[in-house]
C-alpha cells in the first residue's frame, strides 16, 4: 500500500492553489484524501504532483441566511454533520453528511472532494442535485443540473477548483440511504426536496451517475406523501448490477428509499 512517488505542495490560499495548478497542469488537487489517497495506495492513480487544498482556511466555512446555506469546498463531512446552521435550515443535509463512511473518514473528507469525484455511490451528489445547488468554481458558477455528467465525470475543467456550494433552503427535505453493509457507500440513496418551485427527487448509488426521477417529482408535487411514490416502479434497464445487488433490486430500493425520504421530510418540517 505504498503509492508511486510524487511531490507534495500545500497551498495556503485559493489564489496560490490556482497559481500552482497553472504552473503544473499535471498536478492533482488533494482535499481530504479519503478517495485520492486510497486510490494512490492501490496504485490506481499516479499523479506526479499533489497540491493540498485541504487546509486552506478560506475554503472551510458554513454560512447561512433564510434563503440558502453556502458551504466552502474544504469543509469536512463532520463539520457539516455537526453544524447548528445546517441542522436547523436543512436537517436532511446534516443527516446525509453524518451517514458518510465512518467518523475518521468524516473528519478528513470534504464536500468539494466528494462532489468533484462524483462517485456513482457517493451521498452528496444526491443532495446537490435534489436541492438544486449551485457549484461555484475558480472560473464560474455551475447549476447542479449541468454539473454531474456521467460516471466519475463532471463539468469541471482540469484547472478548475470548486470553491463553494450554495444550497437553497427547501420547505421540506429528506434523505434515505440503504448503505452497502461493508463500505457504507450508498447501494441506493434518495434525496427528496420540496421548494416553492416544486419537488425534486435525486437518486444516487442505483445508476452510473446521480439522476432525477420526473415521475416521482410530479406525483409528490401533487401530493407530498409517501403514498404518492410507493407504487412508482423504476425501470432497471440502465441501473447498476454487481455482487451486492442486481439492477432490479436497486430499482426496488429507489421506491423504498424515496418513500422513507418523504417520511423523514414530513417529520422535520
Ligand X SMILES: Cc1cc2nc3c(=O)[nH]c(=O)nc-3n(C[C@H](O)[C@H](O)[C@H](O)COP(=O)(O)OP(=O)(O)OC[C@H]3O[C@@H](n4cnc5c(N)ncnc54)[C@H](O)[C@@H]3O)c2cc1C
Pairing of strands 186-195, 198-204: antiparallel
The yes or no reply on residue 36 touching ligand X (CB under 6 A) is yes
Backbone angles phi, psi at 153, to 5 degrees: -120, 140
Minimum Å gap between C-beta 231 and another protein is 32
> Which one of 25, 66, 67, 102 is in contact with another protein (CB under 8 A)?
102
The yes or no reply on residue 31 touching ligand X (CB under 6 A) is yes
Q: What does the per-residue mask of binding to ligand X show for 178-217, with x meaning CB under 6 A?
A: -----xxx--------------------------------
Pairing of strands 211-212, 198-204: antiparallel
> Which one of 27, 54, 132, 217 is in contact with another protein (CB under 8 A)?
54
CA distances from 222 to 36, 115, 198 (A): 43, 31, 9
The yes or no reply on residue 55 touching another protein (CB under 8 A) is yes
Minimum Å gap between C-beta 214 and ligand X is 24
The yes or no reply on residue 87 touching another protein (CB under 8 A) is no
b/e code 212-236 from CB counts within 10 Å (16+ = b) = ebeebbebbeeebebebbeebebeb
The yes or no reply on residue 16 touching ligand X (CB under 6 A) is no
Select from another protein, ligand X, none the partner in contact with residue 31, using the beta carbon and a kind-dependent cut-off of 5 to 8 Å: ligand X
What is the Cα–Cα distance from 202 to 190, expressed in whole angstroms? 6
Backbone angles phi, psi at 199, to 5 degrees: -120, 140
The yes or no reply on residue 10 touching another protein (CB under 8 A) is yes
What is the Cα–Cα distance from 234 to 253, expressed in whole angstroms? 9
The yes or no reply on residue 42 touching another protein (CB under 8 A) is yes
The yes or no reply on residue 20 touching ligand X (CB under 6 A) is no
Pairing of strands 68-72, 162-168: antiparallel
Q: Which residues bind another protein (CB under 8 A)?
A: 1-8, 10, 30, 33-34, 37-38, 41-42, 50, 52, 54-55, 78, 101-105, 107-108, 182-184
Amino acid at each position: 500500500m505504498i503509492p508511486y512517488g510524487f511531490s507534495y505542495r500545500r497551498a495556503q490560499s485559493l489564489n496560490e492553489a490556482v497559481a500552482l495548478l497553472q504552473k503544473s497542469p499535471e498536478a492533482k488537487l488533494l482535499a481530504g484524501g479519503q478517495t485520492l489517497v486510497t486510490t494512490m495506495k492501490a496504485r490506481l492513480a499516479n499523479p506526479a504532483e499533489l497540491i493540498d487544498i485541504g487546509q486552506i482556511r478560506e475554503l472551510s466555512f458554513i454560512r447561512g441566511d433564510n434563503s440558502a446555506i453556502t458551504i466552502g469546498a474544504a469543509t469536512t463531512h463532520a463539520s457539516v454533520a455537526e453544524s447548528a446552521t445546517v441542522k436547523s435550515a436543512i436537517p436532511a443535509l446534516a443527516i446525509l453528511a453524518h451517514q458518510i463512511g465512518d467518523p475518521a473518514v468524516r473528519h478528513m473528507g470534504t464536500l468539494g472532494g466528494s462532489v468533484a469525484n462524483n462517485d456513482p455511490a457517493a451521498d452528496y451528489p444526491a443532495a446537490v442535485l435534489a436541492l438544486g445547488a449551485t457549484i461555484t468554481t475558480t472560473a464560474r458558477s455551475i447549476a447542479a443540473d449541468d454539473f454531474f455528467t456521467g460516471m466519475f465525470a463532471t463539468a469541471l475543467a482540469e484547472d478548475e477548483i470548486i470553491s463553494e456550494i450554495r444550497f437553497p433552503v427547501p420547505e421540506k427535505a429528506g434523505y434515505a440511504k440503504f448503505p452497502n453493509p461493508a463500505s457504507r457507500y450508498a447501494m441506493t440513496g434518495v434525496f427528496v426536496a420540496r421548494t416553492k418551485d416544486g419537488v425534486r427527487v435525486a437518486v444516487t448509488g442505483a445508476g452510473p451517475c446521480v439522476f432525477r426521477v420526473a415521475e416521482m417529482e410530479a406525483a409528490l408535487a401533487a401530493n407530498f406523501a409517501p403514498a404518492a411514490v410507493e407504487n412508482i416502479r423504476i425501470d432497471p434497464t440502465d441501473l447498476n448490477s454487481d455482487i451486492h445487488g442486481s439492477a432490479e433490486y436497486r430499482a426496488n430500493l429507489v421506491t423504498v428509499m424515496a418513500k422513507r425520504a418523504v417520511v423523514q421530510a414530513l417529520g422535520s418540517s
